[in-house]
Amino acid sequence: MFLESMVGFRQMWEDPNFRQVVIGSAFGGLAGVLVGAILIVLIILAAAFYVYMAFVWMTIAKKLGYKKAWLAWIPIANLFLLPILAKRHWAWGWLFLLPPVYFILAIVWIWKIYERRNYPGWLSLFLILWILPVLKGVGVIANLIIFGFVAWKDKKASKRKR
């Protein structure tokens, strides 16, 4: 019985169509594994990014004296934290429903937050690099570094008069 099945398999294997199906299935399975691995890596990176940014905004909120710094950890609620830290009404956070408007206002709010932490407000302009495809990677890394400095490095107010 086993030999008969082996003979049948050999005949199938010699058929060029069967061979193409087997090879195609193998490569399809390999592609699925690679896509799955890439997806897992992206999910881990996204989670790490979220945790880092939550720590950043929680630290900044605490250093600016906001008592509900834990809002940085709650999805959607953390979007309302930006206008609050920029000394605006929390309701401005609803503009996240209009992404282009919220993006522009986020740059303005982050400018004010940086100035409250005694950093130059123009550093918030690095956020613009996030929307430029060629410089997106540079913008993300630069902003992660800048956010880290603003959160964890206390800078004394400059004595320069304006």
Domain-embedded: residue 6 = no
Residue 14 pLDDT: 75
Domain of 75, in residue numbers = 46-152
Total count of residues recorded for the chain: 162
Domain-embedded: residue 75 = yes
Domain-embedded: residue 121 = yes
Q: Tokens standing for 93?
A: 């956070």
Q: Tokens standing for 37?
A: 């691995």
Residues 58-62: contacts with CB under 8 Å, at least 24 apart: 59/151, 59/152, 60/85, 60/113, 60/117, 60/150, 60/151, 61/85
- Model pTM? 0.78
Is 45:39 a contact under the CB 8 Å cutoff? no
Domain-embedded: residue 157 = no
Residue 148 pLDDT: 94
Residue 2 pLDDT: 59
Domain-embedded: residue 142 = yes
SS3 call for 89: coil
Domain-embedded: residue 18 = no
The rounded distance, in Å, linking the Cα atoms of 53 and 151 is: 10
Residue 155 CA from chain centroid, whole number:
27
Residue 155 pLDDT: 78
Averaged pLDDT in 10-residue chunks for the chain of 162 residues: 62 74 83 94 97 96 94 93 93 91 93 94 90 86 93 78 51
Is 30:120 a contact under the CB 8 Å cutoff? no
Residue 58 pLDDT: 96
Residue 150 CA from chain centroid, whole number:
18
Residue 37 pLDDT: 97
Residue 137 pLDDT: 86
Domain-embedded: residue 97 = yes
Domain-embedded: residue 31 = no
Residue 17 pLDDT: 78
Which residue, chain included where needed, has tokens 């999910």? 43
Q: How many domains does the chain have?
A: 1
The rounded distance, in Å, linking the Cα atoms of 76 and 96 is: 9
Q: Tokens standing for 119?
A: 């950093």
